Structure 1
Amino acid sequence: MSKLFGLGVRRNNRTGFSLTELIATVAIASILLTLALPSLSAIVVNNQLSATANEFLAALNLARSEAIKRGQYVVMRKTGSDWEDGWQIFIDLKRDSTDSKNAFDADSDILLKTYPGLNDGYTLRGNNSRFQSYVGYQPNGSSNGMGSFALCKNQQLQGTKLLIVNLVGRPRIATDSDRDGIPEKDSGQDITSCMSGF
């Protein structure tokens, strides 16, 4: 059409990026991604810790509420050698001997719920001798004692979640009032370990 009017203008209708522009864009994107990966990884771990802590808190609340509702002794017990291997909640009907107390018996006890184990690298440990194996709830909602559970990733204190069961059996997630990434016990001191006896 431009030849009709004698203008002699040629149009170049190329679209897209040149190779140099594409290489520069990929280089900038890879630099930004490299800088963002550590913080994204920390966010994923923190979200996993929060979700697991909330699930464990909900399980403790379920055991307590079932004990009150049913008027029966209800136990939340680990299913493996440690809490991170999973846990189950059951009505402990057979309590006539030391061996049968706080231990699930499929023939006499009533299983309410079973929880799977945690992902590799996560630990969940109780801080006293009773909480290392189970938490038992009386029909009035009180527990077999008071204590705490530490939930950690790769045994690092940074980002740890601490669950506390008080004297009347109410569970809660501990706060990190000084915002150093390590939750405080009721005494106000940071926990010092992810393993038993923290």
Structure 2
Amino acid sequence: MSQRARGFTLVESLVTLAMVGSLLALGASSMADLFHGLRLQAMSGDLFQQLMLARSEAIKRNGRVVLCKSADGNSCAGSGAWEQGWILFQDRNNSGARDENEPVLHRLNALPPGWRLTANGPVGRYVSYGPMGGARMASSGAFQAGTFTLCRTSTERTEARQIIINAGGRPRVQKIWLNDCY
């Protein structure tokens, strides 16, 4: 009576391991893309919320409220991009910069390494909301519309978010694709 061997051959085992490895590699890259997409959405939501908070605080306080980039959490930064963090404060003297007697309403720390948050000219230094809820330049009173762009640093095509402030001061978030981000 002959006994039949049960189990897998070496070739069958190697093929199975190769297929499982390939599926895990595909799943890992998809999971990483999903994770970065969720993080992008959360960080753009944070900036959107801060802009909405600045607008509502300006209306509530019947005075100017400013959101400016800040590395130290106490004063507005004169250089660098927005990923260094920012502060929200009541601008009692309408200067667009925080003085010691002006209260800080909220602080956000720097973005994690590998992320960029840039802004075009009108909102490059700060966003200032007046008592009627409109975004206005602190010095001239001209309306302040502009665009923030948030992306993960990359030399390849990458997903990004734009937070766009219209002439009335209302922000909105838009999904875009960039050829690179650095």
Fold conserved between structures, TM > 0.5: yes
Structure 2 residue 155 is the aligned partner of structure 1 residue 163: no
Gaps in structure 2 of 5+ consecutive residues: 1-6, 72-79, 137-143
Shift of 1:54: 0.6
Structure 2 residue 90 is the aligned partner of structure 1 residue 135: no
Structure 2 residue 85 is the aligned partner of structure 1 residue 91: no
Q: Does structure 2 conserve the Cα–Cα contact (< 8 Å) formed by 1:157 and 1:193?
A: yes
Query: Which residue of structure 2 aligns with residue 110 of structure 1?
Result: 103
Query: Which residue of structure 1 aligns with residue 75 of structure 2?
Result: none
Query: Which residue of structure 2 aligns with residue 64 of structure 1?
Result: 55
Shift of 1:31: 2.3
More helix by share: 2
Structure 2 residue 44 is the aligned partner of structure 1 residue 53: yes
Mapping for residues 1-198 of structure 1, pairs under 5 Å: 27-80=18-71, 81-95=80-94, 101-105=95-99, 107-128=100-121, 130-144=122-136, 145-155=144-154, 158-175=158-175, 182=177, 194=181
The residue type paired with residue 102 of structure 1 is G
The structure number with the bigger radius of gyration is 1
Q: Deviations over 1:149-185 (max 9, x none)?
A: 000111555211011000000000025xxxxx52xxx
Q: Does structure 2 conserve the Cα–Cα contact (< 8 Å) formed by 1:124 and 1:149?
A: yes
Q: Deviations over 1:101-129 (max 9, x none)?
A: 11112x3101100001111111001111x
Q: How many residues align?
A: 159
Sort the Cα spacing of 1:192 and 1:131 in 2 relative to 1 into closer, same or farther, 3 A: farther
Q: Does structure 1 conserve the Cα–Cα contact (< 8 Å) formed by 2:158 and 2:180?
A: no
What secondary structure, in the 3-state scheme, does the structure 2 residue paired with 1:174 have?
Answer: strand
Sort the Cα spacing of 1:132 and 1:193 in 2 relative to 1 into closer, same or farther, 3 A: farther
Greater CA deviation, 34-43 or 136-145?
Answer: 34-43
Sort the Cα spacing of 1:109 and 1:19 in 2 relative to 1 into closer, same or farther, 3 A: farther
The residue type paired with residue 58 of structure 1 is Q
**What is the TM-score of this pair, normalised by structure 2?**
0.77
Distance 1:109 1:166 in 2: 27
Sort the Cα spacing of 1:158 and 1:88 in 2 relative to 1 into closer, same or farther, 3 A: same
Q: Does structure 2 conserve the Cα–Cα contact (< 8 Å) formed by 1:94 and 1:108?
A: no
Instruction: Percent identity, please.
Output: 32
The two structures, once aligned, show a CA RMSD in angstroms of 2.5
Query: Which residue of structure 1 aligns with residue 3 of structure 2?
Result: none
Distance 1:25 1:62 in 2: 55
Distance 1:109 1:39 in 2: 46
